Structure 1
Amino acid sequence: MRPVPDQTILLTGATDGMGRELARELAAQGASLILHGRSATKGEELLSELRASTGNDRLSYELADFSSLEDIRKLGDRILSTHDRLDALVNNAGIGVELARQESQDGLELTFQVDYLAAYMLSCRLAPLLVRSAPARIVNVSSAGQAPINFRDVMLERNWDGVQAYCQAKLAQISLTFDLAERLRGTGVTANALHPASYMPTKMVVNLFTPQSTVEEGVHSTLRMITDPSLDDVTGTYFNRTQRSRAGAQAYDERDRARLRALSESLTGVSFPADLSG
């Protein structure tokens, strides 16, 4: 990887929780940051805070609501039209365990769309730019909480369960990571996923669970995935914090991954990247 001050990094979910602290650390290290969130007010506050505390003025904010596929698509379009390079895509945005089933603006189960389909769309649409910018990285912030996808009821219309919704979306994200690593092998772009820390005291945790880790632990684990030169040639790997680990079994099942790719293409209208190694 290039030195951090020479990198352009897109970080989704940057206005709250671990994403906000990760943005602060990357800004302090001098990266050029494209920060994403769904609140214009929070975005303005974040940029002002980071510029004042780090002296880094190479910061921009992109507004997109991931409950809208059109918003996700437009975000990808804006990145492609305004940036000629991208050194890292960090898919961090997500929602936690919901107490009731909600649908996105597109009529899809909300957790699946926000936690998985958004990462799918951005990764696939931005893959050619990442390849042109190589060496580059895709880092998917996932979870140790994983569950097999029930392809007969992916949207959980018959059997809603908030934990299942969250855990299957996270397993889908890891499956995507493995597929991207295979497709991008030889291009100089790596794709890895991680569980950054357990039950950090963020807003998606404190109302339901007892915190077990600090936000700083999660930032440390994730920052390593983005910037550590020792990971330059590591791809297609799931990490539990900083240790290589084994993801849920379904993530290694090529037939189920193919089913997930087909479903994702059908739901979003975005095709999985073609072979970009040539």
Structure 2
Amino acid sequence: MRHTIVMTGASRGIGRVAAERILCLSPEVHLLVVARGSSGPRLAGELAEGGHAVSHVAADLGSLRSVRSAAEQIRDRLERGGLPPLRGFVGNAGVQYTNALTEGPDGLESTFTVNVLANHLFVRLLEDRFVCPARIVITVSDTHFGDLTHNLGMVPGPVWRSPDVLARTGAFAKSDTAAGGRTAYSTSKLAAIYLVHEYARRLPVGIDVVAYNPGFVPGTDLARNAGPVSRFAMRRILPVMTLTPFATTSSAAGGHLADLVLGTTQAPTGSYVDRVRVARSSQESYDPQREGELWDAAERLTAAHAA
């Protein structure tokens, strides 16, 4: 049966690999890619080579108004029959800044907006359009563990605050530094796991939601906002680590993501998938009180665009 999967973060890195694999393995999929500006038509055209069904909508994930517009376009196309039934959403896009002071057009900190609120708004606006069985996959990160085992101390661990504080700039010590930006990143990924747990409680039966950890994947564009030395290290030096068990290649990580989206990798709703297997996320990531508080804050922060 033909069906639609909506995907953010498909233009490069693990997302691009995953998109190509999804289309190769499942010819019945219509992949709708969410991309910024003029990159959408080019990306859709490249992915469609070979006769695959691919379309696009434009969105700046740092703007909740833009996310709302994209979700409305998707809803409209689904309702008019311009897309086959919706059975998947992949929130793979993510950003990391060199500070925790970058503010988007909504007056909110940009890392939190892109990595947490944009996904939340998409899920909430598309929730009643899903046809079961459906699967939502949110890409997270093992930086949320905050220990040497998972990232060799390259990224500081999360520092949890009230969600209303996390959504604003300057939430962390030394927010004007790269360490502040990386703390914002790891904290946003902890928040994403919290929301996955809350979605599993609240979404209708038949809509499964899982968190996907690709592991440490050097060579991607996640560090595109970093300084030249860090960018050089990520692209030219750290990829050597993929020869060890500590790191994962973009090709492998993208393949794992595609397998999870398509259900080849089985995972119950609310679970955390570490590359190819269901695993436990950090002890800190299981906290129903924080999960409920974050849900309430995300609803409040996106309310102006969710009606």
Cα distance in 2 between the residues matched to 1:93 and 1:169: 13
Match of 2:243 in 1: none
Match of 2:214 in 1: 196
Q: Which amino acid aligns with 1:247?
A: S
Cα distance in 2 between the residues matched to 1:148 and 1:256: 13
Match of 1:102 in 2: 102
Match of 1:258 in 2: 292
Match of 1:134 in 2: 132
Give the total of aligned pairs: 262
Cα distance in 2 between the residues matched to 1:191 and 1:219: 18
| Residues 202-211 or 16-25, more deviating | 202-211
Secondary structure (helix, strand or coil) at the match of 2:212 reads strand
Cα shift at 1:227? 1.0
* 1:217 aligned to which of 252, 274, 281: 252
Cα distance in 2 between the residues matched to 1:97 and 1:103: 11
Cα shift at 1:144? 0.6
Secondary structure (helix, strand or coil) at the match of 2:143 reads coil
* 1:157 aligned to which of 170, 174, 182: 170
User: TM-score if structure 1 supplies the norm length?
Assistant: 0.87
Q: CA RMSD in A?
A: 2.3
| Residues 115-124 or 26-35, more deviating | 26-35
* CA distance 1:258–1:180, change in 2 (3 Å): same
Cα distance in 1 between the residues matched to 2:44 and 2:265: 30
Q: Is the CA contact (8 Å cut-off) linking 1:181 and 1:191 kept in structure 2? A: yes
Cα shift at 1:89? 0.4
Where does structure 1 lack aligned partners over 5 or more consecutive residues? 273-278
CA offsets 1:108-151 (integer angstroms, 9 cap, x no match): 11000001100111111111112xx1000010011111124211
Q: Which amino acid aligns with 2:46?
A: E
Q: Is the CA contact (8 Å cut-off) linking 2:200 and 2:270 kept in structure 1? A: yes
Deviant stretches of 4+, over 6 Å: none
Cα distance in 2 between the residues matched to 1:182 and 1:12: 24
Q: Is the CA contact (8 Å cut-off) linking 1:148 and 1:250 kept in structure 2? A: no
Where does structure 2 lack aligned partners over 5 or more consecutive residues? 80-84, 145-157, 224-229, 240-246
User: TM-score if structure 2 supplies the norm length?
Assistant: 0.79
Identity rate, percent: 28
Q: Is the CA contact (8 Å cut-off) linking 1:138 and 1:190 kept in structure 2? A: yes
CA offsets 1:186-229 (integer angstroms, 9 cap, x no match): x2110100111312311124716423321111112111211125
